[in-house]
Every structure is written in structure tokens, then in C-alpha cells.
Amino acid sequence: MRINFKYLRPHSLNECLAVLATHGDESAILAGGTDLMISFRSGSRTPRFVLDISRLSEIRSVEQHAEVIKIGAILTYSELIAHPLIVKTFPALSAAMSCVGSLQIRNVGTLGGNIANSSPAADSIPPMMIHDAQVMIQKVNSVRIEKLERLIVAPYSNTLEPDELITGIILKPVETAYKQSYRRIARRKSLSIARVNMAVSAKLDAEGLIEDVRISVGSVAPTPLRIKKVEDSLIGLKPESKFIKETGELVARHIVDLVGVRHSTEYKRPAIAGLVIKCLEDVFID
């Protein structure tokens, strides 16, 4: 690689935060390295220090709290997909994590890295958004908790400061009455970036009408996003097949309105509509 740096492996979270406090702006945080190593190779990042956080035990566990589940930032996709509580509680997220790259990538890649990299096509982000994900961010002597939707502001760009570390992700489980789906369209199944990806979570009331529905879409706008306006307009409706088809069109139109017509619109518009239909069928029609 056309780069040189000093490699540091802090032994504790506090030690790591202390290094970030003094050298954050000239450091690169290394978790799984699946994005970072590529940017070293291409020369797009040339830090003075590389801070290996992959062994920090403080941020490698799944914790169940009364209302939320907290996922340590450096747990790998493979560890999470093998975690019974995660698989049971977050089926859409688990499905999304199984789509990431290849087994070799999933064996080292992390959720913290996926968030910090802030790709519009990140697979894990839409399924975290349907759980109103919050990101726990620490620096020396302080913790801030930011909504995932607010943290990512533009393609590959977020509000993380150089002295800050993502330490965990806080997800709200939903009741068992919810059904979820995650789907993506990509050129092939493995090792390809999603062209459209989508997570849906929904619940019907006793009469079979929609009581709650959450739809999050990736790869179609500068950042992955929840489409709350459309979600709200669906409450109280009956999810029949005609409705599902119309909702597909509605979501596609809404997104085109939001991001404007681009060179990819002609392809993406029907792709979005088609994917919405499939996801809604997954959750509403068994």
C-alpha cells in the first residue's frame, strides 16, 4: 500500500477515547477494515495513526434492557447473525446483514463501520431505521445519543467529530404481532452493492387494518431514509393487492419528488415500486 502510519491498539475504551481526544483529526478508526483498507489502498485516506478498536471488549456485547436492545459497535455481522436474540428480535436487520458482501466480509465487518462509512447503499441502515435506531457516540467524559437518521447527512458524510467513537446502536424491538421484510435489488447475490434496498415493518389491528407501518429505503437518495409521510397515509387502510400495487407507485413517486429526476430515475422508479410491492406482500400476505 502506498501509505504509512503508526498502528495503535488501545487496551480500553478510555485509552481509545484519550487518543482520539489528542489525535482524532489525524487518526483513522479501524474496526473490520473492509471499507478502510480499501481507502488506504486507493490513497483516499492517509492518516498518521490507525486506531484498531476491534478488540475493545467494552463495545462488543449485545445488551438487553427493559425497552431497548443495545448492540456493541464492533460486533461483526457474522457474530450478530449467529446471535439468537438478534435473529429473533430483528428479522429484517438479520436478513440485511446476511446480504452484506461475502462470508469473509461478514466475518470482520461491523455495524459501527457501516454507519460511520455512511454509504447511501449500506445494507444495515434501512432495517435499523425501522426500529428508530439511535447511535451511541462517546468521547472523553461524554456520551451523545443521536438518531441514526440525523447522524447521516449526505453520501459518506455524517456528524461524527474526529474525537468521537460510535460505541453502540440502540434499537427498539417491536411486538411479535409485527411482520418484517428486507429486500434488495443488486446485480448479483453476493459481493454487489444494492441498487435499491428496503426494510418494512408492519402490524395489523384486530379488524385487519393497518395499525402501524414503517418503510425505509436505501440507495435511492443521498442517505437511506424513512418515508414517514407515506407511512402515515397508510394507517387504517386494508392491505389488499390493489392497495399494495398503488402503494408501490406512491412510494416511487414520493421518492422521485424528493430527490428529483436523475439519470437513474427511469430504472429506479419501477424498481422502487416493485420492491415496495414485494416487501408489502411479505408482511401483509402470508
Partner 1 sequence: MNQEIPQDELADLEISFTLNGSQVRVSIKPWETALDTIRNKFGLTGAKEGCGIGECGACTIVMDGKAVNGCLVLAAQLDGRTVETVEGLSSNGTLDYLQKAFLDKGGVQCGFCTPGMLMSAKALLDECDQPSKDRITNALSGNLCRCAGYVQIIDAVEDAALIKSKDAENQAVNR
Ligand X SMILES: Cc1cc2nc3c(=O)[nH]c(=O)nc-3n(C[C@H](O)[C@H](O)[C@H](O)COP(=O)(O)OP(=O)(O)OC[C@H]3O[C@@H](n4cnc5c(N)ncnc54)[C@H](O)[C@@H]3O)c2cc1C
Contacts to partner 1 by CB under 8 A: 1, 3-7, 9, 30, 33-34, 37-38, 40-41, 46, 48, 50, 52, 54, 78, 101-105, 107-108, 189-191
Among 140, 142, 194, 138, CA closest to 169: 138
Q: Residue 24 touches which of ligand X, partner 1, none (CB < 5 to 8 A by kind)? A: none
Contact 136, 145 (CB under 8 A): yes
Q: Which triple of cell numbers denotes residue 215?
A: 418503510
Q: Which string of x and - marks every residue 21-50 that binds ligand X (by CB under 6 A)?
A: -------xxxxxxxxx-x------------
# binding residues, ligand X (CB under 6 A): 29
Contact 147, 226 (CB under 8 A): no
Helix (H) or strand (E) holding 42: helix 36-42
Amino acid (one-letter) located at 259: V
Among 173, 221, 230, CA closest to 197: 221
Closest residue to bound ligand X by CB: 113
Amino acid (one-letter) located at 160: L
Q: Least Å distance between CB 178 and partner 1?
A: 27
Q: Which of residues 78-137 bind ligand X (CB under 6 A)?
A: 99-101, 105, 108-110, 112-114, 116-117, 122-123
- The sign one gets for the Cα dihedral 183, 187, 190, 194 is negative
Q: Residues with Cβ < 8 Å from 69, sequence gap 6 or more?
A: 62, 63, 85, 86, 89, 90, 170, 171, 173
Q: Residue 114 touches which of partner 1, ligand X, none (CB < 5 to 8 A by kind)? A: ligand X
Among 20, 22, 271, CA closest to 166: 20
Quickly count: other Cβ atoms within 10 Å of residue 57's Cβ.
11
Q: Residue 52 touches which of partner 1, ligand X, none (CB < 5 to 8 A by kind)? A: partner 1
Complex with ligand X: residue 139 or 226, whichever CB lies closer: 139
Q: Residue 103 touches which of partner 1, ligand X, none (CB < 5 to 8 A by kind)? A: partner 1
Q: Least Å distance between CB 103 and partner 1?
A: 5
Q: Residue 7 touches which of partner 1, ligand X, none (CB < 5 to 8 A by kind)? A: partner 1
Residues that bind ligand X (CB under 6 A): 28-36, 38, 73, 99-101, 105, 108-110, 112-114, 116-117, 122-123, 160, 165-166, 191
